Amino acid sequence: MGVLGIPHAQIGDTYRFAFPPFANGTDAPLIIESVKLLHIPHGAKVIGYPVYSVNDTDGYILDSQDALKDPRDMTKMPNYAGKPITVKPHKRSDFYAMAAVKVTGRITHHLRTCQITYTQKGKKYRQALRCDFALDMK
């Protein structure tokens, strides 16, 4: 497992990190209902969980910064959050979620553990996946 991150995060800036891709290894479709980070350190504030299409963003973008500093400014991309995402059996979705995180103070620990809530065959599930997002500060 790797760590996504920004080596020189600045207080006041907002960064985005991609959740693991939505994949379905079963024989039945599943519907993604929500995503969230379970461990958010002091100094970081999640301001949203946008969902993007690989078709709109020219692929799966792992991280970005909300500012003119980053040519991949995701605030200009269509956001599909709040709409159910169906993942077909034995397929990977064309949609992916990100955590939009604003740096509000000194961050000393990584953001981690991505939780995905989904429904399959009428039953709701929550799955926690390993993820590790670093906002390192000087």
The reported pLDDT for the residue numbered 90 is 98
The reported pLDDT for the residue numbered 2 is 65
Query: What do you get for the CA distance between the two ends of the chain, in Å?
Result: 24
Positions in the chain short of pLDDT 70 = 1-2, 67-72
The reported pLDDT for the residue numbered 59 is 87
Phi-psi region of 76 (alpha: psi -120 to 50; beta: other; left: phi over 0): alpha
| Alpha carbon distance 106, 95 (integer Å) | 32
The reported pLDDT for the residue numbered 71 is 63
| Alpha carbon distance 77, 114 (integer Å) | 22
Provide the residue ranges of all domains of the chain, joining segments of one domain with +.
Answer: 11-132
CATH level 3 topology of 11-132:
Immunoglobulin-like (2.60.40)
The reported pLDDT for the residue numbered 102 is 96
What is the model's pTM?
A: 0.90
